[in-house]
């Protein structure tokens, strides 16, 4: 009786783990040639690995030149997290894609500076909107208003 319950629990945990693994690395094609990868929660080695693999495959399959890495949902950016992020950025760059790191807060910036982490060569912005704007600029695209905005 107990055995059956244990087996059921184990399989349930396994299923949930698979679901979480799928949920944690959504690579979104926000525009033709622009991918976005929102990261929620902390980044450990295993997650960084799957994240990078998924991203690289998607870069190749969609021929995207720009990747926006959004770290708004990462609570703490420490040395280990930033090392993983830098590895992902380096790998994407090797394929020929440019990575924009967005979602940096003043707190994150201060932490990074205090830790003495070298982010030279990585373009950073505070919000996804600013990152997207920059990405449009890189691709020679422009967003224009076609009519005046009516506020209710």
**Which residues of this protein are in contact with another protein, per CB under 8 A?**
52-53, 56-57, 59-60, 63-65, 87, 90-97, 121
- In the complex with another protein, which residue's Cβ is closer, 7 or 61? 61
Least gap, CB of 52 to another protein (angstroms): 6
- In the complex with another protein, which residue's Cβ is closer, 14 or 118? 118
State the Cα–Cα distance between residues 138 and 106, nearest whole angstrom.
25
Least gap, CB of 152 to another protein (angstroms): 44
Least gap, CB of 72 to another protein (angstroms): 24
CB within 8 Å of 97: residues ≥ 6 apart: 35, 59, 64, 65, 66, 67
- In the complex with another protein, which residue's Cβ is closer, 84 or 125? 84
State the Cα–Cα distance between residues 15 and 22, nearest whole angstrom.
11
- Spatial contact of 135 and 100, defined as CB atoms under 8 Å apart: yes
């Amino acid at each position: 009786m107990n055995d059956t319950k244990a087996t059921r629990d184990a399989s349930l945990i396994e299923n949930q783990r698979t679901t979480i693994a799928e949920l944690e690395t959504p690579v979104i094609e926000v525009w033709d040639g622009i991918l976005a990868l929102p990261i929620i929660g902390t980044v450990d080695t295993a997650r960084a690995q799957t994240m990078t693999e998924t991203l690289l495959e998607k870069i190749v399959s969609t021929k995207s030149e720009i990747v926006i890495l959004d770290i708004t949902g990462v609570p703490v950016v420490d040395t280990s997290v930033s090392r993983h992020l830098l590895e992902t950025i380096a790998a994407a760059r090797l394929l020929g894609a440019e990575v924009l790191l967005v979602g940096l807060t003043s707190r994150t910036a201060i932490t990074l500076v205090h830790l003495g982490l070298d982010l030279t060569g990585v373009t950073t912005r505070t919000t996804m909107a600013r990152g997207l704007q920059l990405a449009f600029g890189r691709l020679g695209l422009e967003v224009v208003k076609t009519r005046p905005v009516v506020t209710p």
